[in-house]
Amino acid sequence: MAPLLSALLGPVATVLTALFLEAAAGVIMVPAAWSKIDGKMLSYLIAPACITVPIGGHLLLSLDPAITRRVIAGVVVVFSIVLLCGFRYWGSPRPATSLVLGSALGLLLGATSVGAPPVILYLLASPSPPAVTRANLTVLVTAVSVIGVVMLLAAGAVTAQYATHAAWLAIPFLAATWTGGHAFARLNDFGARRIALGLTLASGIAGLLV
């Protein structure tokens, strides 16, 4: 959603809205995912992200909005293509690698609201089944999104207008999240991934062209 929202609302409002919606989605998704997660791996990813989210937020608030908007769309396009091409992290999951990727996640999420793709590549290398990978990603993104919202609140970047936009968008977003959760159970891993990445790539290209 980030590239199109950025063209409509501006980068700061977009990142706030996206992080707020991800956090709100956790209300629906985290309870079901909690029993499936790998707690040790998640701790190595979340801990460094707590440190780097504010750094990403500083970049978001200090860079030229026009540049930031293009960066958001560009990040989405690049990672969509990488994932569609089937690239993965081929090494074994290790604490040091998790710490580095957690740092990258926080930086990208704070600056663009698009931080999950590097971690997706990493988690897909795990021997865990798709449901566990999805649960890990759900809890990770929810936790870091909450940190990001708190960071923007502390920086004074949240206005009444931004909060109103996010609140209104939360209604259809949560309804779609619930629907998507049920659809995921009916799709195979390949089908679900191709649908999601196809929509994401189209959104990124549209964001670059607007």
pLDDT at residue number 83: 80
Looking at the domain assignment, is residue 29 inside a domain?
yes
- 164-195 confidence digits (pLDDT tens): 888 888 889 888 888 877 777 777 666 777 88
Looking at the domain assignment, is residue 210 inside a domain?
no
Looking at the domain assignment, is residue 64 inside a domain?
yes
- 116-129 confidence digits (pLDDT tens): 778 877 887 777 78
SS3 assignment, position 104: helix
Please state, in angstroms and rounded to a whole number, the distance separating the CA atoms of residues 184 and 138: 13
Looking at the domain assignment, is residue 156 inside a domain?
yes
Q: In the structure encoding, which two tokens stand for residue 4, read together?
A: 């199109």
Q: What is the largest CA-CA distance in the chain?
A: 45
Looking at the domain assignment, is residue 200 inside a domain?
yes
φ, ψ of residue 126 in degrees (nearest 5): -70, 150
Q: In the structure encoding, which two tokens stand for residue 5, read together?
A: 């929202």
pLDDT at residue number 47: 93
pLDDT at residue number 103: 93
Specify the range with the lowest mean pLDDT, choosing from 14-18, 70-74, 133-137, 181-185. Answer: 181-185
Looking at the domain assignment, is residue 125 inside a domain?
yes
φ, ψ of residue 103 in degrees (nearest 5): -65, -45
Looking at the domain assignment, is residue 84 inside a domain?
yes
Domain that holds residue 120: 2-205
- Structural domain count of the chain: 1
Residue 36 DSSP one-character state: G
Please state, in angstroms and rounded to a whole number, the distance separating the CA atoms of residues 163 and 155: 14
